[in-house]
Amino acid sequence: MDPFVVISGCSGGGKSTLLSELARRGHATIAEPGRRIVEEALSGNGSALPWVDGAGFARRAIALAVRDHAAASRSRGWVFFDRSLIDAAAALQHLTGEPVLAAFGQSYRYCNRVFLTPPWPEIYVTDTERRHGFDAAVAEYQRLLEVYPSLGYEVTILPKIAAAERANFVLQILERDLFTSARDRGR
């Protein structure tokens, strides 16, 4: 079972908070490429902002996600990704029509189980890095809900619960999957 676990889904759905809780518990985490790119650009060290150049932003996110994937291979145990290369490739394909999703989706694999945060309007906020509205976040979520299964991933929608409970939920499902996989190999 691949130890690279993707937490994706709706913007503003609690992904980063969940990743912080998993990191607090000692798990390796990889911060969202998009947020890092926007922070860098806003500090004056780049220009790939999603509201200025969506395709350029997606290309930059792909490059960063490829490096993240390679760097994560040095980690032991579960590595939790706040979004993935697949998210970035799906965004680029949506914006430009370039057929990049299938190539990246097969070349860079993650754990077969992907966790998606659903739209959660009660906690959704915009900020300096997230300027798009809730409707755009929901549209992105709907695309990801289709993209991941089309690439052979099993999607689990995260419940709208506190971060500690969400972390317990994720870890219990992964442990169950490990047990099932080991049991199936033993047959």
* Secondary structure string (H, E, C) spanning 95-110: HHCCCCHHHHHHHCCC
Question: Which positions ≥6 away from 21 have C-beta within 8 Å?
Answer: 163, 164, 166, 167
51 CA to centre of own chain: 20
36 CA to centre of own chain: 13
pLDDT of residue 124: 66
Report residue 82 as tokens: 């706040």
In the β-sheet with 4-9, what is the strand arrangement from edge to edge? Answer: 28-30, 79-82, 4-9, 113-117, 154-157
In the chain, the number of structural domains is 1
The pLDDT profile of the chain, 187 residues, written as one tens digit per residue, is 589 999 999 888 899 999 999 999 999 999 988 888 887 877 776 667 767 778 888 898 999 999 999 999 888 899 999 999 999 999 999 999 998 888 876 778 899 999 999 988 777 676 666 656 678 888 899 999 999 999 999 999 999 999 999 999 999 999 999 888 766 766 5
pLDDT of residue 101: 87
pLDDT of residue 97: 92
The structure tokens 């969506």 sit at 54
Q: Could you tell me the CATH number of the domain that includes residue 155?
A: 3.40.50.300
* Secondary structure string (H, E, C) spanning the chain: CCCEEEEEECCCCCHHHHHHHHHHCCCEEECCHHHHHHHHHHHHHCCCCCCCCHHHHHHHHHHHHHHHHHHHCCCCCCEEEECCHHHHHHHHHHHHCCCCHHHHHHHCCCCCEEEEECCCCCCCCCCCCCCCCHHHHHHHHHHHHHHHHHCCCEEEECCCCCHHHHHHHHHHHHHHHHHHHHHHHCC
State the amino acid at position 48 in one-letter form. Answer: A
State which residues form the domain around 76.
Answer: 4-185
> Mean pLDDT across the chain, nearest whole number?
87
What's the whole-model pTM score? 0.89
